[in-house]
Amino acid sequence: MQTQFVLDDVVTVLGPDGVADPATDPKLPGETVVRLFKHMLLTRMVDERLVLLQRQGRIGFHIGSLGEEACILGPAAALGDDDWLWPCYREFGALLLRGMPLQTYLDNMYGNANDAVKGRQMPDHYSGRPYKFGSVSSPIGTQMTQAVGFSWAAKMKGDKSVSLVFFGEGATSSSEFHNAMNFAGVYKTPTVFLCRNNGWAISVPAGQQTGSQTFAQKGFAYGVTPVRVDGNDLLAMIKVTRDAIERGRRGEGPTLIEALTHRLSGHSTSDDPKAYRNEAEMTAERAKDPIPRMRAHVVALGLWDDAQEKAWAEQVEADIKRAVETAEKTPAPALHTMFEDVYATQPWHLVEQQAEAERAPRPAGHGGGH
């Protein structure tokens, strides 16, 4: 019998009108649905404010998730407390959902003295061990092999935790994708590969990344279960991720999820999408924005109205303003912090170098005023 290597089915729960299909609806409690919708709004508002801050020269860089909130927050919501998430670089909304305070995230964006990574990474290169959230890394695809290694270790220890890793469709062209998928398929690691197919790897269209009809079907070659899903449908993202997690916990191995979504902005604040995308395409994609679709759902359930949204937006606006003000008042990391976190006991030559650096004159405002 010939195996079918092309996936035509795309899992969907919500119609354009926000009505859920009872056959695929994950049937979340009402309070959970509202909480996730509020996080979608929070993520969008933080995104928009960070772009403005970058344009004003107050932060150096931002890489957002405008239009991709559903395919980021849905999988994060499906994870258990002991599961690990390995980000690409658009997943700050998932980090906030998993518990990182907004202030902590904003401190990272400014790289100030309260930044968990002490200003050593560029903005939006966050991490959070307390939230079981790996570190963003600029090289393409490295998080995939890290996630597989982590989930393999969990399997060897008899730990039932699962690792979920995000990446864009462009990362499937990296060697890390092959290495991670092959290893996961051979050893049946409890790994969920979440490919956000937004159609563009910066300015390179998806059609120039692969000759296959879908990205999900690449799973067949590695013995990895493939799934395609409407990435603008929050409930569908939760359903397929839950299914993948359950397969992993049962020892049935990894899953490759291709989430079909749209990027409603540039790749980052350093990118101008007008140079390679036409306005007609962008207009069509805006019509598929996941937030109005989810709003229609919570309104139809009788769980949300304009007054609630206004109150929530005002609260979020105040929270963002307060966090930005605090981050901007916080000084830069002290000079001595650049010598920390490498050795358990600092070797003699670094002790000498630190002392020399701290004695040397420095411009006011740099390195804690030294």
Q: How many CB atoms lie within 10 A of CB 117?
A: 18
Phi, psi of 262 (to 5 degrees): -140, 140
**Do 197 and 226 form a contact (C-beta atoms < 8 A)?**
no
**Lookup: tokens for 78:** 């499906």
The residue among 182, 196, 164 whose CA lies nearest residue 78 is 164
Q: How many CB atoms lie within 10 A of CB 113?
A: 15
| Inter-CA distances, 7 with 3, 11, 172, 219, 261, Å | 11, 11, 17, 11, 17
Query: What angle do the packed helices 234-249 and 290-300 form, to 10 degrees?
Result: 90
Catalytic residue from among 62, 263, 293, 297:
263
Catalytic residue from among 39, 267, 293, 297:
267
222 is catalytic: no
Catalytic residue from among 276, 322, 362, 366:
276
Taking CB atoms within 8 Å and a gap of at least 24, the contacts of 11-14 are 11/227, 11/228, 11/229, 11/230, 11/236, 11/239, 11/240, 12/229, 12/230, 12/233, 12/236, 13/230, 13/233, 13/235, 13/236, 13/239, 14/230, 14/233, 14/234, 14/235, 14/236, 14/293, 14/294, 14/297
| Inter-CA distances, 223 with 5, 93, 239, 255, Å | 12, 31, 22, 9
267 is catalytic: yes
Residue 261 makes CB contacts below 8 A (sequence gap 6+) with: 67, 68, 70, 71, 196, 197, 198, 231, 232, 290
**Do 123 and 59 form a contact (C-beta atoms < 8 A)?**
yes
The residue among 323, 268, 322, 334 whose CA lies nearest residue 119 is 334
The residue among 323, 196, 176 whose CA lies nearest residue 267 is 196
Active site residues: 263, 267, 276
